[in-house]
Amino acid sequence: MELSSIINALSLRVVSGKDNLSNAVTGGYVGDLLSDVMGNGKSGDLWITRQVHQNIVAVASLKDLAGIVLVNNCEPAEDTIQKGVKEGIPIMISEMPGFDVAGKVYNLIKKDHHE
């Protein structure tokens, strides 16, 4: 499903990668360990994390992830936003904790597959 649909459904605040909100989201991955996401995330995944430093952009870019959702209203570092803008990686902020974000995204994707 399109990333923009998830952004609307979850009222996410977009801070970078605004030109790529039509990215296709095919799955999701939750994790704060970068090598875990590198090893187990899949291209097209929406990455849900608590990490806010700029290295998350490189991971998302190298893995062709659909975007990054930061949980608990965590603000990304300024250089994270700059890097996200430069690389065209959508970084979004949710007020919800990771468990709730993951549950909602999971249901949206599942529903989308059935339709």
Partner 1 sequence: MRGESSEQVLNGQKIFEELFIIEGGNFNKAGEVASRIKVILKNMGIPDELVRRAALVAYESEINIVSYAKQGYMKLTVNPDLIMIESIDEGEGIVDIELAMQEGYSTANDRIREMGFGAGMGLCNIKNYSDYFDLRSKIGKGTYLKMIIESQQKNPKTE
Contacts to partner 1 by CB under 8 A: 32-36, 38-39, 42-43, 51, 53-55, 58-59, 61-64, 79
C-beta of 7 vs 45, nearer to partner 1 = 45
- Of 78, 82, 48, 86, the closest CA to residue 65 belongs to 48
Mapped to the 3 state alphabet, what secondary structure does 77-102 carry?
CHHHHHHHHHHCCCEEECCCCHHHHH
How far apart are CB 11 and partner 1 at their closest, in Å? 26
Smallest distance from partner 1 to CB 26, Å: 12
Task: Give the residue with the Cβ less far from partner 1, 33 or 74.
Answer: 33
